[in-house]
Structure 1
Amino acid sequence: MPADQVSAVERVRPPEDGDERATLTGMLDFLRDTVVHKVAGLTDEQAFSRPVPASELTPAGLVKHLTAIERFWFAIDFAGSDTEWPWTEDDPHGNFPLSPDDTLAAIVAAYRAECARSRQIVAGAALEDIAQGEDMTFNLRYALTHLIEETSRHAGHLDLLRESIDGTAGE
């Protein structure tokens, strides 16, 4: 595989008999790895393509969006850290824009780094802890559940896009 392509990662299924924290964090990590798995092996041309004519979604755009979602929910809203805002004034709601200098490998590396930061934030908090961001009232349990839902939904989008691009389906 060329150095500029994304390699598949090993996905570890979450525990089926774990406590609440292990189940929530294990499921989210499994879905995060699924996102990387779905784009592994794609060229930049494929990852930036819009294979479903009625949609503007691209595989690369979805991964970039999920990177911003991780930052927004965990670093900014939950931890209340003074971290760079993930969206521009032109796109304040975090759609799926790509820059001309983006590459899939760089987007996936940023996603994996943001997920690692999120894991660190989550590890240092209790599920009942309330978000520290301005005007935030949700707890960590809610944030984890929301990220499971959002990551799962976009992994489903990636399933459809990937199958449309090269016929790869499943897993």
Structure 2
Amino acid sequence: MPSGTSLLGLLNHLIAVENVTFLGEKVTDWQATFQPAPRDSVADVVARYRATVDSANTVLDACTDLGAPLPRPGRSGPSPSVRWALTHMIEETGRHAGHADILRELIDGTTGR
């Protein structure tokens, strides 16, 4: 891809989105989140994604009101609602799953159903 988009890069980006949305981290260069480190293996990025989702789920397990502000440790200012954060994460994951489908088709011709 001319843009440098890769399957590993998409997953690396989703790690950043989970971290920012649910764990209070900050990102200053979103474009850079699409580039895994050169030393990152597929297993490394997948393990990091799973660990990040587990951490985000721990935060969400404590949220009983979808309309309440999402707790975001280390962040100041207004927080989005839990509902907004979940919807945003579903949207973000769905968007990039579509990108992954296109990349997969370009690699080996396989198409999703």
Q: Which residue of 2 aligns with 1:110?
A: 48
Q: Percent same amino acid among aligned pairs?
A: 38
Cα shift at 1:103 = 0.6
| Superposed CA offset, 1:44-64 (max 9, x none) | xxxxxxxx3x32211101100
What letter is aligned with 2:94? S
2: CA distance, partners of 1:130 / 1:71: 17
2: CA distance, partners of 1:86 / 1:59: 23
1: CA distance, partners of 2:51 / 2:112: 26
When Rg is computed on C-alpha atoms for both structures, the one with the higher figure is 1
2: CA distance, partners of 1:115 / 1:86: 17
Q: Which residue of 2 aligns with 1:161?
A: 103
Residue 129, structure 1, aligned to residue 71, structure 2: no
Cα shift at 1:138 = 1.2
Tell me the TM-score normalised to structure 2 length. Answer: 0.85
Q: Which residue of 2 aligns with 1:98?
A: 36
Residue 62, structure 1, aligned to residue 10, structure 2: yes
Alignment of 1:13-162 (within 5 A): 52=1, 54-76=2-24, 85=25, 87=27, 92-95=28-31, 96-125=34-63, 126-132=65-71, 133-162=75-104
Gaps of 5+ in 1: 1-51, 77-84
Tell me the TM-score normalised to structure 1 length. Answer: 0.58
Cα shift at 1:165 = 1.0
Q: 1:119 to 1:164 in 2, by over 3 A?
A: same
Q: Which has the higher helix share?
A: 2
RMSD, matched Cα: 1.6
| Superposed CA offset, 1:25-45 (max 9, x none) | xxxxxxxxxxxxxxxxxxxxx
1: CA distance, partners of 2:43 / 2:26: 18
2: CA distance, partners of 1:59 / 1:97: 10
